[in-house]
Structure 1
């Protein structure tokens, strides 16, 4: 997981951790722990983050799956 890139994308969109947490319907503390790598994001949370930040499949693959996905259309 490339959490540094996730943070960069979030900041690029001018969204705070608090705003991300609210949009994802989780606590700010929970989001913070996940962005720091102390907890894992669920698949549903990854989909939510992608929608909130407008990430394409390749960027999601880069951030969350270390470019291990072979087909982004699945």
Structure 2
């Protein structure tokens, strides 16, 4: 009887640990997904600005060729 209780307790502990692990994984995945979404949105906004800045910089300061 004691062994059975011990085993069921052990099994419950393992289940709890696995559940915690799964929850942690889910939270981490969701966090990563949201971070990627934020980064993508930022990149979409920043890229045109960077291109604009690069074009204007090269027009204003033409690079000299090597002699």
Range class of TM-score, shorter chain: under 0.3
Could you state the TM-score of these two structures normalised by the residue count of structure 2?
Answer: 0.20
Could you state the TM-score of these two structures normalised by the residue count of structure 1?
Answer: 0.18
Q: Larger helix proportion, structure 1 or 2?
A: 2
Q: Relative contact order (C-alpha < 8 Å, sep 6+): which is higher?
A: 1
